[in-house]
Amino acid sequence: MNAPTELHDFSVAELAEQLRARKVSAVETAQHFLARAHANAGLGAFLDFNEEATLAQAQAADAMLAAGTPGAALLGVPVAHKDIFVTRDFAATAGSKMLKGYRSPFDATVVARLAEQGAVTLGKLNCDEFAMGSANENSAFGPVKNPWDQTRVPGGSSGGSAAAVAARLVPAATGTDTGGSIRQPASFCGITGIKPTYGRASRYGMVAFASSLDQAGPLARSAEDCALLLSAMCGPDLDRDSTSLDVPAENFARNLDDSLAGLRIGVPAEFFGEGLATDVRAAVDAALKEYEKLGAKLVPITLPRTELSIPVYYVIAPAEASSNLSRFDGVKFGHRAEQYSDLIDMYKKTRSQGFGDEVKRRIMIGTYVLSHGYYDAYYLQAQRIRRMIADDFQQAFQQCDLIAGPVAPSVAWKLGDKSDDPLASYLADIFTLPASLAGLPGMSIPVGFGAENMPVGMQLIANYLQESRLLNAAHRFQQASDWHLAKPEGF
Ligand code: GLN
């Protein structure tokens, strides 16, 4: 492979190196990516810029680079944040009219930690409203287009993040994954994404959707780049996030090159059933063969409650969402209806104007399953099955070190195809929900192309806190293949 000549083709690792060697400045880099982001505004990936703030950060990085300040791994590297993270210098809308133009007085922990490592914030990225969706069509600010085929969805809810990285508008981005929202858009856009173990990345400053599931993680082109970002993003934040794990930050890039000889990869029968499109299956099967060549052993396993993950998730996530979203009442912050007769009327009008259809649907489902008389039948029952799903994984991990399968049953669908059919969209989450419900780390790596030349992703799932094992397996695969280097035409 020849070294890239255009700035936007450099990986995060290569770009950091170019910056350290002072072959390019952080300001030039930021300007280059800002210009690309503006030139490709038609994708709908970005929601907000603050050029002044971006360039000020880049200048600070240049000063540190000039002084030869060691340490900061991402010094001068542009990243962009899913608009679910609150930011001081940029609006944070969570893709909702409810928070249009909202500016937070502080940065989310993940945003602050990336900045501490020298990352320069390029802007904020479109997403489904309150991260609810699988196609980025639920954003109040319009859909995002898939750079591989602009008549198709980029996946969701981190659709802006995935599209921007795939189109080389930014070298890497943050996302959040509640039920698949990092893995699935990464898969649909042919890039790499990882969701760490629940509790590893702080949720402080992440607009809450379903608090027991929400996790932040990076989307980038390669596992190596994801490792660099994830190392900055993770680590305890005990004072600010009550579910933050007291596990020290880690350098996830440290064993990327380890051999895969003897690695046992579990292949769950339930992930390869009837609903899986043949093109996706073919690409995933070929990737599994490649893993065998790299020394891994495939072990047939079973995750018997895979199908139940859909009803379980679509009870628990809306239940938590209905509670989390009660804070948007027109009093404390966000949108407030202009005309109303009394307080109750103000609440009603504010919330009916501020929230989109999918969010309202989930608030209604959530309120219903938590209500007296139904709580036991739905919410408690879902919690019980959630525990069993987590136990199934522990059974499986007695026979294997990693689990592999498809990320989604099909490649990216056409814009509008499932937007009137929420159930069809929920069903497409079947392979990402189990790891989310269990709180396990999962990732998506590009493994080929399916119908209409759309990217296919493979999912890798590891046991708790074994992100480095995931990244190692992904990296070795990416050294042996070049699916992650493929680039959509015109970008
Ligand atoms: N598609 C799932 C949903 O709509 C997952 C979203 C997410 O992970 N944020 O809830």
**Residue among 127, 176, 429 whose CB has most ligand 1 atoms within 8 A, to mutate:** 429
Q: Give the ligand 1 atom nearest the CA of 177.
A: 8
For the segment 181-194, the average pLDDT, to the nearest whole number, is 98
For the segment 387-401, the average pLDDT, to the nearest whole number, is 98
Residue 3's pLDDT is: 64
**Residue among 178, 219, 314, 432 whose CB has most ligand 1 atoms within 8 A, to mutate:** 178
Q: How far is CA 3 from CA 15, 18, 106, 164, 196, in A?
A: 11, 11, 39, 22, 30
Catalytic residues: 82, 157, 181
Closest residue by Cα to atom 5, ligand 1, is: 179
Find, among 272, 274, 273, 276, the residue nearest to 409 by Cα. Answer: 276
Q: Give the ligand 1 atom nearest the CA of 181.
A: 8
Cis upstream peptide for 410 (omega within 30°): no
What is the Å distance from ligand 1's center to 321 Cα?
11
Q: Give the ligand 1 atom nearest the CA of 425.
A: 1
Tokens of 366: 């959530």
- Residues 416, 420, 422: CA angle, nearest 5 degrees: 110
Residues 46 and 27: their CA atoms lie apart, in Å, by: 20
What is the Å distance from ligand 1's center to 432 Cα?
9
Instruction: State the residue for tokens 């992904």.
Output: 474
What is the Å distance from ligand 1's center to 393 Cα?
21
The residue range of the domain holding 196 is: 7-257
pLDDT tens by residue, 25-34? 999 999 999 9
- Phi-psi region at 262: left, alpha or beta (left = phi > 0; alpha = psi -120 to 50): left
CATH code of the domain in which 216 resides: 3.90.1300.10
Q: Give the ligand 1 atom nearest the CA of 133.
A: 4
- Give the confidence band of 367 by pLDDT, cuts at 50, 70, 90: very high
- Answer yes or no: is 220 within a domain: yes
- Answer yes or no: is 44 within a domain: yes
- Answer yes or no: is 287 within a domain: no
Q: What angle in degrees, to the nearest 10, is found between the helix axes of 12-20 and 26-39?
A: 140
pLDDT tens by residue, 195-239? 999 999 999 999 999 999 999 999 999 999 999 999 999 999 999
For the segment 272-298, the average pLDDT, to the nearest whole number, is 97
Side-chain-side CA neighbours of 483 within 13 Å: the count stands at: 33
Residue 68's pLDDT is: 85
- Answer yes or no: is 264 within a domain: no
Residue 1's pLDDT is: 46
Residue 332's pLDDT is: 86
What is the CB < 6 Å shell around ligand 1?
A: 131-134, 157, 177-181, 209, 317, 429
Compute the mean pLDDT over every residue in the chain, rounded to the nearest whole number.
97
Full-model pTM? 0.98
Q: Taking 50 as the threshold, does the pLDDT of residue 428 lie above it?
A: yes
- Answer yes or no: is 27 within a domain: yes
pLDDT tens by residue, 63-91? 999 998 767 899 999 999 999 999 999 99
Residue 4's pLDDT is: 78
For the segment 387-410, the average pLDDT, to the nearest whole number, is 98
**Residue among 84, 96, 134, 363 whose CB has most ligand 1 atoms within 8 A, to mutate:** 134
* Three-class secondary structure assignment of the chain: CCCCCCHHHCCHHHHHHHHHCCCCCHHHHHHHHHHHHHHCHHHCCEEECCHHHHHHHHHHHHHHHHCCCCCCCCCCCEEEEECCECCCCCECCCCCHHHCCCECCCCCHHHHHHHHCCCEEEEEECCCHHHCCCCCCCCCCCCCCECCECCECCCCCCHHHHHHHHCCCCCEEEEEECCCCCHHHHHHCCCEEEECCCCCECCCCECCCCCCCCEEEEEECCHHHHHHHHHHHECCCCCCCCCCCCCCCCCCCCCCCCCCCCCEEEEEHHHHCCCCCHHHHHHHHHHHHHHHHCCCEEEEECCCCCCCHHHHHHHHHHHHHHHHHHHCCCCCCCCCCCCCCCHHHHHHHHHHHHCCHHHHHHHHHHHHHCCCCCHHHHHHHHHHHHHHHHHHHHHHCCCCCEEEEECCCCCCCECCCCCCCHHHHHHCCCCCHHHHHHCCCEEEEEEEECHHHCEEEEEEEECCCCHHHHHHHHHHHHHHCCHHHCCCCCC
User: Per the structure, how many domains does the chain have?
Assistant: 1
Residue 5's pLDDT is: 80
Q: Taking 90 as the threshold, does the pLDDT of residue 313 lie above it?
A: yes
- Answer yes or no: is 18 within a domain: yes
pLDDT tens by residue, 97-117? 999 989 999 999 999 999 999
Residue 2's pLDDT is: 55
Q: Is the distance from CB of 134 to CB of 124 less than 8 angstroms?
A: no
